[in-house]
Structure 1
């Protein structure tokens, strides 16, 4: 953490171990669940993590798989960028890797569109607003005259983010309409904003403008950590989750993987999660898993809360298509390339540039992503390979030794008007809390960082009930850095 204006959010005070034994069942072994388990176990709470899949990590899981020719390979649910301002996620990872040596920097991630125009983050200053301003001015899609045409008042919320105020102002507007309202140049819109908005697994027309503004604050104008990010130097399981699991086991955490939870019940002052009895519960599965548990748990009978949980929506399906090629891609290809206007392809990763398992492959390992896919999986898969051949022509003559795909639809949708209806970490039920990237928390966080932040907060809520000390959260500044723009935004647009 290098940003001196990062905000530390105080943790509840209290003891470092319970006076009487306490136990919690954490449902879900993704980032949110593992974070909650860590926060609780470090205060002496007996924790059992129950995960429906055979591996930990949730949407950042990885596992060993096999190609058609019998080769053993590593597979995952796709690329994830570990930005420097993901303070709460990094705090989790430091438990097993104090110096974060398993993360390696990706110095640049170019953006390219259908016209061949290319943007880059290399060499940008880290401090706002100069990072965003220089990015715009050196972009081939943005001219100085475009700055003069911007609707400054309408655009002010991008530089004056405050949670939850930004959602009160913009959550009823979709991101595409908002960008049109501020007169953002269409070409720059596709190459910059759409690339980032689709990382939320939804097209701009389906995404809340408030989420877009919060994202802009988190990555651009709210943080001086810079715009580059890190990636694990090996597969997620070996770099992240196996070391963290070992750390948690040493704290006494028990794991049940490959075990779906069906329902949650009350037994007096305690909770029953299938056959497990505990003093508290953290529900941190994906949206569909959470909704299934709530539907089958009649004791969770608060009507308004149930409607909020059951009203959560998932984003359109996405495809991760990983190819093992018989030869390397050209030496100048970046580790990660984002695309705009080249649907359905959203990005290309060359895993052998940074991942140890992929680097041992004699050719290249290339991963293609399609977020918010509009066609069926076989069609999208073919289109992705065609786009790869268009962008990296040398791959057209390469033989695909093997391929593996992940076709999923389990990411939360941050849709128009959703924020006010989202369930919060706290619930109406004593001893039961929620966590996950689809759960509301009034902090400037997103994606993996939102999962980690809600996990720490969920642990803190339970710890405070038992008089135990919580864990400090850290975020980028909770409001825009520039007073004149905050004042302009307060006038409305």
Structure 2
């Protein structure tokens, strides 16, 4: 939180706590991921009685953690893979500070090299933090970007990158795909693979399937819109231990009730708002926050014919999911080289997108490595396509290319996960994506696939929508909400905005 230009979005006023109301309101939060837990926190801290319903036994959603049994009978930590906690994730960090004010559960990753298929390497180490010098220095020292490339850039086509304004950028670019947009800019093809493709695939999409507006917004969040820098943090223990078990205890201390291992089957709205669970329980409530994944939201809405109007239900039904992604975790009988980075992104090395050496930062993996003399390595493949049965061998071959010392290693244990539950951000999606409010003022949506007209993405979008969903219900109850923070909502450089405006006109 070093950027003095970060924007604080104030919440509506009201009584400071629901205990001052004639009757204490009750809200059911459906989904125990980041969005749901942020909403539950926002409500519970204002005295609202909250129940969280999560269909899995563990919390955290796509950032959940659990125990995995290795072939030798020992227990190991497991989760759905690496997550980067960037410094500009203000609202996610505000949530985590509830249980760790100094954020000691996070460890900085000082560098994360990007390596393409030809071995060219980009690095974020030592970059200035102030825009636009961060992006300029990154480009000029990249092996895929030359001075002549800067001269050849199409200033008119590139102008929206310098003049991003959210949500206006979506009206301008959401009908375009990121690949065509970068081609129109004359952005060097090699640099596209090594820089933009890596980031676009973090949205679980190929560049030709990603909205150009999402790409521009991402460029704004991480480069030109923020001076927090490009270095991120990682959680230094498995997610359940470091994040969600402490947050669950914190919320329980505020009276939040958790129902895990049960799913919501439908929501009835007349005459009262009633949430029905698959164990037959019916919960009458004053409000609900639906903070599920896309499939879960669509199922609940489809089975709740009285919820919302036809136009809104069509929006929910039209939500898309990204292609599957694969996480392959390997427990090896020997260490990788000592100079290997904790995290490496790759471009042009399909199907591999990144490699993590978990024992460099995760406590449980480090303990296993010390005990056995081995290492724990994780391979990610985003937006994968058939044939899936060859992915395992392809990923392993890519690991051997990048880290030749692993060729002789024995895989002591492995766990491969394949999921398809991340929201899609394709061209044209933004205008039809449902927002936080629904036609029923008692029901809100939250999650990283829900529309919010602020410059946030990925985990930070989930946290932000959770806080804002809580705020809307608090306003309905007459209770004060919570402020949220973002990077500036428009390009921070007045000069660049002026130049871009002249070019666009």
Query: Take 2:349 and 2:124, find their aligned partners in 1: how far apart are those partners?
Result: 20
Shift of 1:12: 1.0
Tell me if the contact between 1:25 and 1:273 (Cα under 8 Å) persists in the aligned partners.
Answer: no
In structure 1, list runs of 5 or more residues that go unmatched: none
Query: Take 2:249 and 2:124, find their aligned partners in 1: how far apart are those partners?
Result: 36
Name the structure 2 match of 1:305. 312
Query: Take 2:68 and 2:55, find their aligned partners in 1: how far apart are those partners?
Result: 18
Candidates 349, 355, 366, aligned match of 1:348:
355
Name the structure 2 match of 1:15. 15
Do residues 208 (structure 1) and 216 (structure 2) align? no
Name the structure 1 match of 2:225. 222
SS in structure 2 at match of 1:263 = strand
Query: Take 1:249 and 1:267, find their aligned partners in 2: how far apart are those partners?
Result: 30
Candidates 61, 65, 82, aligned match of 2:68:
65
Tell me if the contact between 2:272 and 2:284 (Cα under 8 Å) persists in the aligned partners.
Answer: no
Query: Take 1:33 and 1:381, find their aligned partners in 2: how far apart are those partners?
Result: 33
Tell me if the contact between 2:448 and 2:457 (Cα under 8 Å) persists in the aligned partners.
Answer: yes
Tell me if the contact between 1:319 and 1:377 (Cα under 8 Å) persists in the aligned partners.
Answer: no
SS in structure 1 at match of 2:504 = coil
Name the structure 2 match of 1:151. 154
In structure 2, list runs of 5 or more residues that go unmatched: none
Name the structure 2 match of 1:99. 102
Candidates 450, 453, 473, aligned match of 1:442:
453
Shift of 1:159: 1.6
SS in structure 2 at match of 1:298 = coil
Q: Residue deviations 1:116-149, cap 9 Å, x none?
A: 0000000001111010100000000001111000
SS in structure 2 at match of 1:262 = strand
Candidates 403, 412, 419, aligned match of 2:423:
412
Shift of 1:488: 4.3
Name the structure 2 match of 1:367. 378
Query: Take 1:132 and 1:487, find their aligned partners in 2: how far apart are those partners?
Result: 19
Q: Residue deviations 1:44-82, cap 9 Å, x none?
A: 111000011111000101100112332211111111000
Shift of 1:235: 0.5
Candidates 83, 91, 106, aligned match of 2:86:
83
Query: Take 2:410 and 2:380, find their aligned partners in 1: how far apart are those partners?
Result: 20
Q: Output the aligned Cα RMSD.
A: 1.0
Name the structure 2 match of 1:471. 482
Q: Residue deviations 1:440-464, cap 9 Å, x none?
A: 0000000000000000000000000
Q: Residue deviations 1:314-342, cap 9 Å, x none?
A: 00000000000011100000000000000
Shift of 1:377: 3.2
Candidates 444, 457, 460, aligned match of 2:468:
457
Aligned length: 493
Name the structure 2 match of 1:387. 398
Tell me if the contact between 1:153 and 1:488 (Cα under 8 Å) persists in the aligned partners.
Answer: no
Which structure 2 residues correspond to residues 136-285 of structure 1 after superposition, within 5 A?
136-274=139-277, 275-285=282-292
SS in structure 1 at match of 2:92 = helix
Tell me if the contact between 1:322 and 1:366 (Cα under 8 Å) persists in the aligned partners.
Answer: yes
Shift of 1:489: 3.9
Name the structure 2 match of 1:403. 414
SS in structure 2 at match of 1:397 = coil
Q: Provide the TM-score with structure 2 as the length reference.
A: 0.96
Query: Take 1:270 and 1:311, find their aligned partners in 2: how far apart are those partners?
Result: 25
Shift of 1:485: 2.9
Tell me if the contact between 2:308 and 2:440 (Cα under 8 Å) persists in the aligned partners.
Answer: no
Shift of 1:301: 4.2
Tell me if the contact between 2:124 and 2:138 (Cα under 8 Å) persists in the aligned partners.
Answer: yes
Shift of 1:14: 1.0
Q: Residue deviations 1:470-491, cap 9 Å, x none?
A: 0000000000012343244445
Query: Take 2:308 and 2:411, find their aligned partners in 1: how far apart are those partners?
Result: 53
SS in structure 1 at match of 2:38 = helix
Query: Take 2:201 and 2:273, find their aligned partners in 1: how far apart are those partners?
Result: 42
Do residues 423 (structure 1) and 434 (structure 2) align? yes
Do residues 294 (structure 1) and 301 (structure 2) align? yes
Query: Take 1:66 and 1:79, find their aligned partners in 2: how far apart are those partners?
Result: 20
Name the structure 1 match of 2:388. 377
Name the structure 1 match of 2:31. 28
Shift of 1:16: 1.9
Tell me if the contact between 1:93 and 1:240 (Cα under 8 Å) persists in the aligned partners.
Answer: yes
Shift of 1:164: 1.1
